[in-house]
Amino acid sequence: MRRWWIVLLLGLVMAAAPAGAQARRIVVYSALPDLETSLINREFTRRTGIPVEALSVAAAGTLAARIRAERDRPRADIFVGGSADFHAPLAREGLLLPYRSPVAREARVSPAFLDRDGYWHGWYLGILSIIVNTERWDREMAPRRVPKPATWDDLLRPEFRGQFIMPSPVTTGAGYIFVAGQIFRLGEDRAWAYLRELNRNAAQYTPTAPGTITLLERGEAVVAMMWAHEAIGARRLRFQPLEVIVPPDTAFEIGAVSILRGGPNPEGARAYVDFLLTRTPQDINARYGFRYPVRADVEAPAGAPPFESVKFVRYDREWAIANAERVRERWTREIGR
């Protein structure tokens, strides 16, 4: 038997040894897509001279679980992106470091977008909307003179039977915020009646939020409930035939950033939070991610309705976070999907 190729393989394995750690760098766990993450980080390094090592996963829940698993020895300094609903429980478990960025005060960011105790800073916003695949609509719904859905109640139309999709409330933030929004809109009992009726139209509840957009792009459904910014991005960057309709009484997410307690470089982490609240990163996020900035002096994303023009339901975020488990349990029992 020849031995040299085993030596070769061993050599390959040896070459896998980690590169030496850079001084002063910060490590960022990002729930934003690759593109926005790398553009924002490049700008941060240019401004501050602090190098960034980023891990970008399009699922905030996965990163939060990772942060929990690493609680004994945190690897990262920053958790950025994802709804505040993912950051708040981490704060409760004592995994976050409080900080009040002076930039938030200077820029007069609404206190509604900041954690009362300083554990997380909201720096972008996303709104829930109705999304239509126009290609299939024009072919199948328009000839039958079905009016386009304009309100949440329009989603109950019998024509949409088996043609509606949305992210699962059990497994995604988008789905849960939608269900909580319906509870705030209708009151608990009527909300569940509404959801049961909507369930008759639902083809499926996608386990991940991007899955809804993917299926809608593919024409596996005609109508969906999803983040407006995901659909606008799909339309403007990938030329998908999607139309965004923002109904009244919708809900929004606060995209947050937080500092991990016990991370290697808390000083750099604070600089990163300050930086995210300045104009440039919010502009990058609006331009490439189509998410709303929290700063009034940054332009809203192209193709999205002005944030002030949207009619929001009175969304009690603290109630929503505190009751998440109970609501999800009831969903599983009553909807069973």
Partner 1 sequence: MGRLGVVAAGVEARRQLADPGLALAFVGGAAALGLFVLYPTVRVLLYPTLHDYLTIPHSVRWIQAARNSLVSTVLSTSTAVLVGLAFAFATSRPDVPGRRFFRTVALLPLFAPPFMVAFSYILLFGRQGLVTRHLLGLDVNIFGLHGLWLVQTVAFFPLAMLVIAGVLESVSPSLEHAARNLGADEWQVARTVTLALARPGIAGAALVVAISVLADFGNAVVIAGGWPLLATEAWFRLEGMADLRGASLVVAMLVVPTTGLFLLERYWVGRRRYTTITGRGGRLERPPTYPPLKWAAFCVCALTSVLVLLVYLGVVAGAFTAVWGRDWSLTLDHWHLASDRVGSLWASLRVAAGAGLVTAVAGILLAFLTSRAVPLRRALDFLAVLPGALPGVFVGVGFVLAFNRPPLELVGTPWILVLALAFWHLPLGYQAAVAQLQQIDRSIEEAASNLGARGLHLLRDVYLPLLTRAFVEGFTVSFVRAVTNVSIAVFLVSPGNVVATFAILNMIGNGIWGGAAALTTMLLLVTFAALAVARLAAGRALRPVPVG
Residues 285-324 that bind partner 1 (CB under 8 A): none
Cβ contact 9:253 at 8 Å: no
- Reading the block at residue 158, the tokens are 């019998």
- Reading the block at residue 248, the tokens are 């009244």
1 or 112: CB nearest partner 1: 1
105 or 218: CB nearest partner 1: 218
Beta carbon of residue 330, minimum distance to partner 1 (angstroms, whole number) = 11
The residue within the footprint of partner 1, chosen from 43, 45, 48, 53 (CB under 8 A), is 53
Rg (CA), the chain: 22
Amino acid occupying residue 29: Y
- Cα 250 to chain centroid distance, Å, stands at 16
Going from the C-alpha of 227 to that of each of 172, 175, 290, 292, the distances in angstroms are: 12, 10, 10, 12
Beta bridge partners of 243: 132
| 142 binds partner 1 per the rule CB under 8 A | no
* Alpha carbon distance 204, 216 (integer Å): 11
Beta carbon of residue 297, minimum distance to partner 1 (angstroms, whole number) = 28
Give the footprint of partner 1 on residues 80-109 (CB under 8 A): 86, 89
Beta carbon of residue 17, minimum distance to partner 1 (angstroms, whole number) = 7
Give the footprint of partner 1 on residues 149-168 (CB under 8 A): 168
The residue within the footprint of partner 1, chosen from 43, 48, 59, 262 (CB under 8 A), is 59
Q: 């505190």: which residue's tokens?
A: 322
Beta carbon of residue 175, minimum distance to partner 1 (angstroms, whole number) = 8
104 or 222: CB nearest partner 1: 222
Beta carbon of residue 305, minimum distance to partner 1 (angstroms, whole number) = 22
The residue within the footprint of partner 1, chosen from 43, 45, 48, 58 (CB under 8 A), is 58
Give the footprint of partner 1 on residues 176-205 (CB under 8 A): 202-205
| 12 binds partner 1 per the rule CB under 8 A | yes
60 or 310: CB nearest partner 1: 60
Task: Give one DSSP letter per residue of 210-272, joined into a string.
Answer: HHHHHHHHTTS-SEEEEEHHHHHHHHHHH---EEEE--SSB-EEEEEEEEETT-S-HHHHHHH
78 or 109: CB nearest partner 1: 78
Indicate the helix (H) or strand (E) that contains 69.
Answer: helix 60-69
Indicate the helix (H) or strand (E) that contains 162.
Answer: none
82 or 247: CB nearest partner 1: 82
* Alpha carbon distance 96, 260 (integer Å): 5
| 75 binds partner 1 per the rule CB under 8 A | yes
Cβ contact 122:218 at 8 Å: no
Give the footprint of partner 1 on residues 203-262 (CB under 8 A): 203-205, 207-208, 210, 213-214, 217-220, 233-234, 238-241
Cβ contact 242:134 at 8 Å: yes
The residue within the footprint of partner 1, chosen from 50, 54, 183, 304 (CB under 8 A), is 54
| 28 binds partner 1 per the rule CB under 8 A | yes
Stretch that binds partner 1, among 100-108, 151-159, 277-285, 328-336 (CB under 8 A): 328-336
Cβ contact 241:304 at 8 Å: no
| 131 binds partner 1 per the rule CB under 8 A | no
| 69 binds partner 1 per the rule CB under 8 A | yes
* Alpha carbon distance 87, 173 (integer Å): 12
